[in-house]
A and B are shown apart, each in its own frame.
Chain A
C-alpha cells in the first residue's frame, strides 16, 4: 500500500460523505438558517438582560454577545451526524458492508467528521456577516487569534472523540433513542454554549471545569474574547491537549472492543 493509495482511500470516504451531505440541499440550508437565528435571538436576549448597564460582573455587553455568537458557531462546527449515521448503519445492518471495507470502521467515521468540517467551514464564512451585524462581533483580544484557532481545532478534535464515544454505545444497545437527546442537551450546557462558565454558580463551574466538554466551546471562545490571558491561554490549551489524549485513547479502546462484538442485524 502506497502513501497516495493510503490517502486516496481515505479521501474516497471523505468526499463521498461530502457529496452525501450536498445531496440534501434543504438540510444544508437549515444548518445555515438555524444558527443564524440562534445568534440573532441570543444577542437580542443579552441586550435585554443588560438593559441600561454596559457592564455586568465585569463583563461588557459586547464581550457577552461576542461570546454567545462565537459559541453558537463553535457548537455548529462540533455538532455532527456521526451518531445518527452510525445508529442508522447499525440498525439496518449496513454496518456489515462498512466493515468489509479495506479501511477500518473508526477511520471511516473520522473521515465522515472531516467531511462535515469541510462542508461547514464555508458556511461559517457565510454566517460571519450575520454575527457582525447582530452581535457587533468584537475583534479578538490582542495576540489571541492564533491560540484561538489552535484551541478551536483542539476543541473540534475533542468533540469528535466524544461523539464517537457516544455513538459506540449503539454497538451494545443497537439504538440510542433517549440517550442521544440527553447528550445533546447536556453537551450544550456543559460546553458553555448556552451560558458562559463565569455565569454559573461556583459549585457547578467547578464540576464543569473538571469535565472535557468545556474544551469544545468554552476554552476557544474564552481565549478569543480575552477571558484567558498570557500564561492562562497556554495552560488552557494544555488542558485541551490532555483531554484529547485521554478521550482519544478511550475512544480507540472502546471502538476496538465494540467492533469485535458487533451484531449485524438481519439475514
Chain B
C-alpha cells in the first residue's frame, strides 16, 4: 500500500486582489476582486522508503502540493491520503507522521538558541527523554552542529540554520520527510552535507522522502524517481534514466585533434568546433560509442577524447521549452 497517495488532486486559489491606501485591509475584506490559479488533477503514489524528486518550474504548483500533503491547505477536490490520514481533516495527527523543511523559511524559534528549539520540538511531539537525547546527539554529530547549539537562530548562517531545520524535522522520527528546496542558497559544501544526511536517513531508517528542488545535482545525487509537474499537471513520473533517453537521447563525443580540420564521420554530427577540439553529437542506439570512436580515430589523428552524458538540467530545460512552445 502506498504511503502517500493523491488522486485527481485539485487546488483552486481565489486570491483577493489587494487594495492599497488607507484602510486597505478593511476595503480588501469587502472586495470581490479575485485572481485564480490552480493545481490540476495531480495523481501519484509513493511507496514506503522511496526518495522521490518532485520537480517543476517556479509557479508549477510544487509547494502547493506539499502544503496540501502537510495539511496546511485544504484541497478544492480530489483525494489525499498520507500514512492513512487525510491531512487537512486530521491536521494534528498528520503532523506526527511527517517532518517538513521549507528552505525559504524556518520552523525554528527565531529568537531562541538552537538547542531550545530542539527541546521544544521534543516536548511538542512527546519524544521520550532517552530517545530524544539519542537523536539529538546523533544529529549534532552527523550535521556538525556542536559549535552553534547555543546561538540564537536569527544569528545562524543559512547553512547552519538549514542543518538545524533538518534535525528539528527528524527529531521525532517521522515516517515521511518533505523537503521543499532544502539546498536553496547554500554553498557547495553545505549542499553536499545536506544531501549526505538525507541519503543516509533514507537508507538507514527507511524514511520516505519527497524532495522539491531546482538543483539538478540534488536530484541526480539522491532521487531514484522523479515526478515532474508544470502548470499544475504531472508531465512525467518514473525513474531518471528513461527520462534522459526520451528527452536527450544524444550523447556527445569530444575529440582533440592533432591538426585543425573538419570532421566527417557517419552517424555523428558536428555541434561545435574550436581550435582542433570538436564536439560530436550521436545517438548511441544507432551508433555505439565504441564504433564511433573507432571510425573517428581511423580517419583522424586524435590526441585526447571524452564522452559526456546528458545532464538532467539540460533534459529538464528541454522539456520545459518544448512545452512552452507547444
**Residue ranges of A at the interface with B (Cβ–Cβ < 8 Å):** 1-2, 5, 8-9, 11-13, 15-16, 19-20, 23-24, 92-94, 96-97, 99-104, 169, 172-179, 260-264, 266-267
A96 and B105 in contact (CB under 8 A), knowing A101-B95, A104-B92, A261-B74?
A: yes
Size range of the interface on B? 35 or more
Contact A9 B124 (CB under 8 A): yes
Which of B46-54, B106-114, B269-277 touches A?
A: B106-114
Which residues of chain B are within 8 angstroms of A103 by Cβ–Cβ distance? 92, 124
Q: Which residue of A lies closest to B128 (CB)?
A: A5
Supplied contacts A101-B95, A101-B124, 17 more A-B pairs, CB within 8 Å: A16-B112, A16-B120, A19-B112, A92-B105, A96-B70, A99-B71, A100-B107, A101-B92, A102-B96, A102-B125, A172-B29, A174-B18, A175-B24, A178-B26, A264-B73, A267-B59, A267-B181
Q: How far is the CB of B269 from chain A (nearest CB, A)?
A: 40
CA A261 – CA B13 in complex, angstroms?
10
- Say which residue of A11, A15, A97 sits within 8 Å of B102 (CB atoms): A97
Contact B70 A100 (CB under 8 A): yes
Which residues of chain A are within 8 angstroms of B25 by Cβ–Cβ distance? 169, 173, 175-179
CA A113 – CA B96 in complex, angstroms?
25
Which residues of chain A are within 8 angstroms of B152 by Cβ–Cβ distance? 23
Contact A96 B124 (CB under 8 A): no
* In the assembled complex, B259 has its CB within 8 A of some CB on chain A: no
Contact A102 B124 (CB under 8 A): yes
Q: Which residue of B lies closest to A175 (CB)?
A: B25
- Say which residue of B18, B24, B73, B107 sits within 8 Å of A178 (CB atoms): B24
- Say which residue of B58, B72, B88 sits within 8 Å of A96 (CB atoms): B72
* In the assembled complex, B260 has its CB within 8 A of some CB on chain A: no
- Say which residue of A8, A104, A173 sits within 8 Å of B28 (CB atoms): A173
Contact A12 B123 (CB under 8 A): yes
A262 and B72 in contact (CB under 8 A), knowing A12-B120, A267-B104?
A: yes
Q: How far is the CB of A28 from chain B (nearest CB, A)?
A: 13
Q: List 9 A-B contacts (CB under 8 A).
A: A12-B121, A16-B116, A20-B111, A101-B95, A102-B96, A103-B92, A173-B16, A264-B73, A267-B59
